[in-house]
Amino acid sequence: MNTIDLQELPYPGDTAQAFGDRLRRPWAMFLDSGRPHGQSGRWDILVADPVATLVTRGGVTEIEHRGGPIQRSTEEPFSLVRGALAKYRPERIDAPVPFVGGAVGYFAYDLARRIERLPAITADVAGLPEMAVGIYEAAVLVDHATRRAWRVGPVGHAATAPRPVAPQPPLQIGSPLRASLGADAYRRAVERVLRYIRDGDCYQVNLALRFSAAAQGDAWPAYLVLRERNPAPHGAYLRLPFCQVLSVSPERFLAVRGGRVETRPIKGTRPRHGDPMTDALAGDELLASAKDRAENLMIVDLLRNDLGKVCRPGSIAVPRLFELERHPAVHHLVSTVTGTLRPDCDALDLLRGAFPGGSITGAPKLRAMQIIEELEPQRRGLYCGAIGYLGFDGAMDTSVTIRTLTVGGGEAHFGAGGGIVADSDPSAEYDEAQLKGRALRELLEEFRK
């Protein structure tokens, strides 16, 4: 067994510019705090050259250890990640940084089919794996608060030099953007949700549109543009053998540190405005909106129940309710729910127990997911899943994969939607979905050939 070693590096300023070459090979990943582009995030994390990878498609996970043959397992993916972490866990872990090595990757929305019994109605247009996770013994971490950087990894383990990668042309979008539902069809789907709510089937359903276009090339230049224009505290770039992922998510899904749990659901959105007075009024309107506060509270209650599956009785609290967060394109209404893990539970138990996030399903969760399967014509894929890390030390931090673009298989895809409640207006909900997709829509238009 190894011991974790911490080596200080020169502070790079803009991590993406300094380490971009490391992100040009398969299984390289960048968890991006949005600094120095105006976000309040603190830590950037870069990983590459995993010692093992786990890729789940349907009921089978392929596990490949460095230099070994591919193994196939039908065991639950979360358990397989736990086993891989245990295999490579160092003997001593005492580095004062948030990530000391471990698992990094994505858990797609449709991984929920391994947890819940759901109908199979929607079309899988992207064909991406439901889980893609690498196990990394080493990482580069950049702390923008103290303006310091480190390499963390096993003692005596030299940093791997980047292997040359054949250059690719930058991303090219080869067709107009197409939506899974037109405006009228989306409004009819909202009306169907409203009937379900009136009939007592559910209280809230997150209904989404999926946008697609033909795409080829290296998406890293597009991510640099996206993160500069729309910095986010939970951004990410993942370069995988089967796709690239570009995410500027504003929403923390689940975090664990020292047994303490935090989730920060977003419900409630208004557009930003160039005029300061108009912008301030939009934020005040959101804070005062009874509809948005009710929508947010429903998800807070759902997440309190999800955390209750694995947290100590009496430890769950809501220290902040209905806070206003300002992002480059939108105002959001955000709440914070906390708890303490039970001694017999770990971060993977929490992730499984709360997956997928309530803010992007609805309440009650299982019924909302069944309605989503009925009304959305295409599977969500990565959209509304999670991206993040699970460390060897038991720590975890994950985002909700909203504002997230996937590029692979000759196509680019992203989703956008909102929570439907009893007093939702179908036309307003369609406008909100368009607003949330605006940044990615404009990015794809810019890279259209």
In angstroms, rounded to a whole number, what is the distance separating the alpha carbons of residues 397 and 103?
11
Check 130, 137, 267, 411 and give the catalytic one: 267
Q: To 10 degrees, the CA torsion angle through 8, 14, 18, 21? A: 120
DSSP calls for 355-384? PSPGGGTEESHHHHHHHHHHH-SB--TTTT
In this structure, are residues 355 and 390 in contact, taking their beta carbons and an 8 Å threshold? no
In this structure, are residues 137 and 2 in contact, taking their beta carbons and an 8 Å threshold? yes
In angstroms, rounded to a whole number, what is the distance separating the alpha carbons of residues 46 and 29?
6
251 has catalytic annotation: yes
In angstroms, rounded to a whole number, what is the distance separating the alpha carbons of residues 427 and 420?
12
In angstroms, rounded to a whole number, what is the distance separating the alpha carbons of residues 266 and 278?
22
In this structure, are residues 244 and 238 in contact, taking their beta carbons and an 8 Å threshold? yes
In this structure, are residues 374 and 119 in contact, taking their beta carbons and an 8 Å threshold? yes
411 has catalytic annotation: no
Check 251, 376, 429, 432 and give the catalytic one: 251
Q: Based on the number of CB atoms within 10 Å of its own CB, is 241 exposed (0-12), middle (13-18) or buried (19 or more)? A: exposed
Closest to 45 in 3D by CA, of 86, 103, 87, 2: 103
Sign of CA dihedral 149, 154, 155, 157: negative
* DSSP 8-state assignment for residue 337: E
Catalytic residues: 251, 267
